[in-house]
Amino acid sequence: MAVIAVGVCLGPVLEGTAQAGDTPLRPFAQHQVYAPDALFPSRWTPEERDEDVLAFYRQWKVDYLRKVDVASDVDDDAVQYRITFGHNQPERTVSEGQGYGMMISALMAGADPDAQTIFDGLWRFARAWPSDRDPRLMGWQIPPAGDSNDSAFDGDADIAFALLLAADQWGDAGYLDAARSIISAIGERTIGPDSLLPMLGDWVDIDGEQYNQWGTRPSDFMPEHFVAFGRATNDPIWMKARDRVLDVAADLQRDVSPRTGLLPDFAVVEPDGTVHAAPPNYLEGYYDTAFYFNAARVPWRIASHALLSDDKKARDIARMMAGWMRSRVAGNAVAIQSGYMLSGLPLPYETENSTLFVAPIAVASMLLPEGQDWLNDLYDNIRDRHMDYYEDSVTLLCLLVLSGNFRSPTGH
């Protein structure tokens, strides 16, 4: 393993440095054709939305992209990059951030001449810190909190998806081979063999007493990723997993949150099909049972699949969440709060209007009939507002969708 001085960064990575990379085959801006009923923010032209993405991306790079000081005993001087956890923990990186950064850099190629150098550096850093349980996956936190470091589902899934995007972008079969290796590991180690649900990571015992294949995190329901994984591998498990997460999301809306459609941070699915929100303090905190800082991403993940694959079930799931939120705040995007009980009551003391909660709802609102003014207000709320690593990374990915610049890789 390469020895990395994680706390020593060589400063923000700025645009304008030289790169001798491959010519991008799908350079930004690539306006995609989404589902026939999709809306786009209409107060801005497509070119203005592209400029919003570029401006946000430039600031995101300055704030969170860091070059890594690689110790001298590494065999070569290949550059590594990492995504810093944010303003309060700049020395920390998580696999989730590497996945976000790799997706973003692959999609921004053409607009950023350094995109491939950045992408490759992020990928090298991910490889330098493998999971102790399955080295094909990335350890979830750098530096590790203890003697071991295992994986988190979302980071690995986004890294694999990003490698598929890179294969399309730069035409290099090496990216595709790397993606297939990770996808195999994800399927073998972190998809429940009976539940067909994403598990929390490769540390989960499928038959464990507290954490097992029946406990899941709805923000890991990534149906478009699973479709892309299936295209790349021809493994039927991925279409089964796609169907399964959409079925469970719909069941949670029907049986747990019938008024709001909100999904919880964590959920438990019984072998007989009964679904529950996980109890408080299931894994991370008291609000594990609520629509909170994990589940805030669900509208973006589900709606992206509806937009890219024109999936009716995903569209219905996303519309329910977006429609309820519009009603809850009476069409006022500024009134969206940072967390809700599944009943719809706002969480105490979580009054901040975080972009993490606004941006994914904006993506889901692209599917709302007669929701044009609401979508415009949501977009205006997030287009140039910066907060911290997590909020800004998710917001940038949502802006890519909202501008028509997010796509699904071919997997070939």
Phi, psi of 361 (to 5 degrees): -65, -35
Using a CB cutoff of 8 Å and minimum separation of 24, what contacts does 206-211 make? Answer: 211/283
Instruction: Give the span between the Cα atoms of 56 and 371, in whole angstroms.
Output: 25
Identify the DSSP state of 340: B
What percent of the chain has pLDDT above 70?
Answer: 93
How much is the average pLDDT of 43-61?
A: 98
Catalytic site includes residue 47: no
* Cβ pair 352, 401 in contact under 8 A: no
Instruction: Give the span between the Cα atoms of 89 and 336, in whole angstroms.
Output: 26
* Cβ pair 38, 365 in contact under 8 A: no
Identify the DSSP state of 218: G
In the set 154, 156, 168, 202, the catalytic residue is: 154
Least confident segment among 143-152, 194-203, 299-308: 143-152
Res 9 pLDDT > 80:
no
Q: What pLDDT sits at residue 182?
A: 98
Q: What pLDDT sits at residue 16?
A: 36
Confidence label for 21 from pLDDT (cuts 50, 70 and 90): low
Instruction: Give the span between the Cα atoms of 81 and 86, in whole angstroms.
Output: 15
pLDDT digits (tens, 9 = 90+) for 86-116: 999 999 999 999 999 999 999 999 999 999 9
Amino acid at 247: D
Identify the three-state secondary structure at position 12.
Answer: strand
Nearest CA to 155 out of 188, 114, 186, 120 is that of 186
pLDDT digits (tens, 9 = 90+) for 151-190: 999 999 999 999 999 999 999 999 999 999 999 999 999 9
* pTM metric for this prediction: 0.94
Q: What pLDDT sits at residue 329?
A: 98
Mean pLDDT for all residues in the chain: 93
pLDDT digits (tens, 9 = 90+) for 361-386: 999 999 999 999 999 999 999 999 99
How much is the average pLDDT of 241-252?
A: 98
In the set 50, 52, 63, 96, the catalytic residue is: 96
Residue 302 C-alpha from the chain's centroid: 11
Q: What pLDDT sits at residue 209?
A: 95
Res 71 pLDDT > 70:
no
Catalytic site includes residue 188: no
Strand partners, 4: 70
Strand partners, 130: 138
SS3 content of the chain, % helix, strand, coil (to 5): 45, 10, 45
Bond from prior residue into 29 cis (ω within 30 degrees of 0) = yes
Nearest CA to 309 out of 240, 372, 225, 234 is that of 225
